[in-house]
Amino acid sequence: MSFVLGLKCRECGREYPSEPIHVCEFCFGPLEVRYDYDGIKRVLTRELIESRPANMWRYRELIPIDGEPSVGQHNGFTPLVKAENLGKALGLNNLYLKNDGVCYPTLSFKDRVVAVAVNKAKEFGYDTVACASTGNLANSVAAHAASADMKSYIFIPNDLETGKIVGTSIYGPHVIAIKGSYDDVNRFCSEVAAVFKWAFVNINIRPFYGDGSKTFGYEIAEQLGWRAPDNVVVPVAGSSLITKIYKSFNEFHNLGLIDKPKTKVFAAQATGCSPVTTAIKNGQTDFKPVKPNTIAKSIAIGNPADGYYGIKVVNTTGGWGEDTTDEEIVVGMKLLAETEGIFTETAGGVTISVTKKLVEQGRIKPDELTVLAITGQGLKTMEAVEKTLVKPVTIEPKLSAFEEIYKNL
């Protein structure tokens, strides 16, 4: 049973039926899913949620599909890790990592949004899914299309990491590399979407897709023992995840599941692509599009679809935005790996190194409960760190050979 009432324009409030549409015909505002919260409140309790299997569908009343999921059933419910060692290094006594670098099945938080989008595409009767992607979305759409026995067309920028390309092509989709940045790919896909009757997960299915991100926030609140953190630091690309984490805490509060959240939401971007954090630092309510140039390719979106709303969330919660250089991103990746044994991709390095700055600036205090969003897996972006690591020492399988090099290790 579904609690979805339909879609609604975020700007003018006009209501629409639940259909594969994403912009308001009247004001061009983005559409979002409208729920029957009174109905949900009558059935959804902490106990009911806790009684369900450990995956994102334990919050099914708040996820916009009508029936049972037929694909992506195992996604989500990733570990929330108490990070004592990293906390010591950063000067934080109450630090947690939400680790979607191990999200099933393609090792990024995109498995949450894609699970919703592909199920919704099936419900709408599509036989083909598609996306414009910076890499992780490509992996996830291709994998879920394979498992749903649907065709897929994946559009990516032509400069992606090997891990992102191989991790897409293995599932047998049609992959099209576009000469240009993600923003060029996205603009091009809007044209394709107007002609080809496909489910573009982050275009015509976007209102449903976006709500998959809410489960990242629901899980944080549940795993903290049914409360929202004081701070959350989120890597920002299109700005969907950051707005949905904020929404998830407020929904939980309105449903009586947690106390009123006082969470400050912090945006993290790479200096080479920081339209959102630059606007926040300059006190602007909207961003200026930029041309991306950073190793954090998965979050290199110069013209973020929900950027305006991401800035608003940060400002209304009393958070802040910071950016970090490519060198600092690598330092952040290594720091996380060496302190917590977690290998994250470049976007995770952005989160870690931005957090360091926020602590130094006094914006995040030592005793506050802080959660960092680790959104992707380091094995997909090995290029970023490969050359900075100590090479293995090669020797003959002889004890004398080992004894010779042992003292220099």
Ligand X SMILES: *Cc1c(COP(=O)(O)O)cnc(C)c1O
The verdict on 80 binding ligand X (CB under 6 A) reads no
**Residue 290 binding result from Zn ion, ligand X, none, given CB thresholds of 5 to 8 Å by partner type:** none
Interface pick for ligand X out of 136, 186, 215, 271 (rule CB under 6 A): 136
Distance CA 249, CA 317 (A): 12
Interface map 333-372 toward ligand X (x if CB under 6 A): ------------x-x-------------------------
207 in Cβ contact with 199 (< 8 Å): no
Binding mask 13-42 for Zn ion (x = CB under 5 A): -x---------x-xx-x-------------
- Give which of Zn ion, ligand X, none residue 11 binds (C-beta under 5 to 8 Å, depending on kind): Zn ion
Q: What share of the chain is helix, strand, coil (3-state, %, to 5)?
A: 45, 15, 40
277 binds ligand X (CB under 6 A): no
Rounded Cα–Cα distance for residues 385 and 159 (Å): 17
Residue 220 contact, options ligand X, Zn ion, none, Cβ 5-8 Å cut-off depending on partner type: none
Instruction: List, as one string, the DSSP characters of 220-281.
Output: HHHHTTS---SEEEEE-SSSHHHHHHHHHHHHHHHTTSSPPP-PEEEEEEETTB-HHHHHHH
In the complex, the smallest distance separating the C-beta of residue 30 from Zn ion, rounded to whole angstroms, is 9
**Pair 32, 7: CB distance under 8 Å:** yes
| Span 290-319, contacts to ligand X by CB under 6 A | 298-299
* Strands lying side by side in the sheet with 321-324: 80-82, 95-99, 370-374, 231-235, 264-270, 321-324
Kindly state the smallest distance separating residue 266's Cβ from Zn ion, in Å.
Answer: 29
Do 227 and 260 contact (CB within 8 A), yes or no?
no
Could you say whether residue 237 binds ligand X (CB under 6 A)? yes
Nearest-approach distance from CB 23 to ligand X, in angstroms: 17
Site membership for ligand X, residue 275 (CB under 6 A): no
Which position among 110, 164, 206, 247 is part of the footprint of ligand X (CB under 6 A)? 110
Q: Does 11 bind Zn ion (CB under 5 A)?
A: yes
What does 139 bind: ligand X, Zn ion, none (CB cut-off 5 to 8 Å by kind)?
none
Residue with tokens 């009684």: 51
DSSP one-letter code for 295: S
| 239 is a site residue for ligand X (CB under 6 A) | yes
In the sheet that holds 128-132, the strands lie side by side as 174-178, 151-157, 128-132, 199-200
Smallest separation (angstroms) from ligand X to the CB of 164: 9
Q: Which two tokens stand for residue 360?
A: 């130094």
Residues that bind ligand X (CB under 6 A): 108, 110, 136, 235-242, 298-299, 345, 347, 375-376
